[in-house]
A = this chain, B = another copy of it.
Amino acid sequence: MKRKIRMGMVGGGRDAFIGGVHRMAAALDGEIELVCGAFSSTAEKSKASGEDLMIAPDRCYGSFEEMIEKEKLRADRMDIVSIVTPNHLHFAPAKMALLNGFHVICDKPVCLTLEEALELKELVAQTGLTFGLTHNYTGYAMVKHARHLIKEGLIGKIRKVIVEYPQGWLSFPVERDGSKQAEWRTDPKRSGVAGAVGDLGTHAENLAEYVTGLQISEVLADITSYVEGRVLDDDANVLLHFHGGAKGILTCSQISNGDLNHLNIRVYGELGSLRWTQETPQYLVHRSVDGQRIFEPSVGELSPVANAATRLPFGHPEGYLEAFANIYRNFARTVLKQGNGETPSEFDLDFPTIDDGIRGMKFLEAVIKSGKSNNQWVKIE
């Protein structure tokens, strides 16, 4: 039976940033309905935020515990819990949601430690519930097409990968000037052991592994906190070794002044290379000694997976929210079909899961360890 998936949200109240992104992404395709939320840390604030969102007051809860307890009792209860809080508040609601039979879609990094991530994986396995992680950048059609082309052998065996995620917005100590976003992201209690490496590096790692189909085997990292007084890293330069022999560079930064949100990747194979950059996500460039070709959504014959991630005819640019929405839509369709006893298609299942979360935590911990131990190679199991 076709029906809208009902979503409850943890976090995302007034002042938050990423909550609104999740809501727009979930709303875009008309397949998900926000029905309740524990938007803020108090019932009152949560209700105020819920009012903005036109959520019934009795479904605006003061805590995720309350939301889960009360929703469980409703016939029209939420199907999925979307967790959009700062990093340190991912684990507890995710765990409780799973334990109470709710599917979970969670912002990244999945939690604060690898240990927590492994516990969630265990719970997902036990409950059979669906767990999505919003590594949204893999939602772009041209990222999916790159993955497809590499799988098909277009550029041959991969030799080298350069993946970068530079931002510049923390070039100044804005965490001391009242930026809430900056505050929690630079605070080890709320962000975990990593700053830029957790916030951006894990996206870059996820993108690289998704596109290439390879796994990073070890890292050697030079990490820095450039801004005085900042405890967490705001920059990292990382050498990469992949299983199978490819090598690479990953750099992520919050002090690359003038870079906006410049995630980009270049993958070099024996026969050619592919390049993609998030700020103009509609272009995927293939280069080889024979020349240069640019792929664009809906132009010519593309992979089915790219087409499935595209909503518009060519020349009508889709952006960040559309890519984010692809994660939500695929997650929701998987939840719906499994609920209906149907088998999700390979396209439905194309969203990041707890396994991506675990990769991210392993990567993050290895980078920090290398950075703090005189730049030695650290293996990722």
Contacts and interface: CB of A to CB of B under 8 A. Distances in A.
Interface in A211-252: 220, 222, 224, 226, 235, 237, 239, 247-249, 251
A3 interface: yes
Interface in A296-335: 296, 299-301, 311-322
A41 interface: no
Contacts of A282: 279
Interface of A: 2-4, 17, 20-21, 23-24, 27-30, 34, 51-54, 155, 159-160, 162, 167-169, 171, 220, 222, 224, 226, 235, 237, 239, 247-249, 251, 253, 255-262, 266, 268-273, 278-282, 286-296, 299-301, 311-322, 375, 377
A299 B291 CA distance: 6
A270 B321 contact: no
Given A54-B3, A291-B299, A311 B268 contact: no
Nearest to A275: B258
Nearest to A220: B375
9 contacts: A3-B54, A20-B311, A159-B226, A160-B253, A220-B220, A249-B249, A257-B268, A258-B268, A316-B320
Nearest to A287: B258
Contacts of A292: 258, 293-294, 296, 299
A345 to B, nearest CB: 17
A23 to B, nearest CB: 6
A279 B316 CA distance: 7
A296 B291 contact: yes
A257 B321 contact: no
Contacts of A169: 289, 313
A308 to B, nearest CB: 15
B30 A34 contact: yes
Nearest to A155: B257
Contact of A268 (B20, B256, B294): B256
B257 A237 contact: no
B314 A261 contact: yes
Given A34-B30, A220-B375, A251-B162, A260 B296 contact: yes
Contacts of A271: 171, 257
B257 A289 contact: yes
A186 to B, nearest CB: 17
A54 B289 contact: no
A24 B28 contact: yes
Contacts of A160: 226, 235, 253, 255-256
Contacts of A29: 24, 27
Contacts of A261: 313-316
A318 to B, nearest CB: 5
A277 B3 CA distance: 39
A244 to B, nearest CB: 13
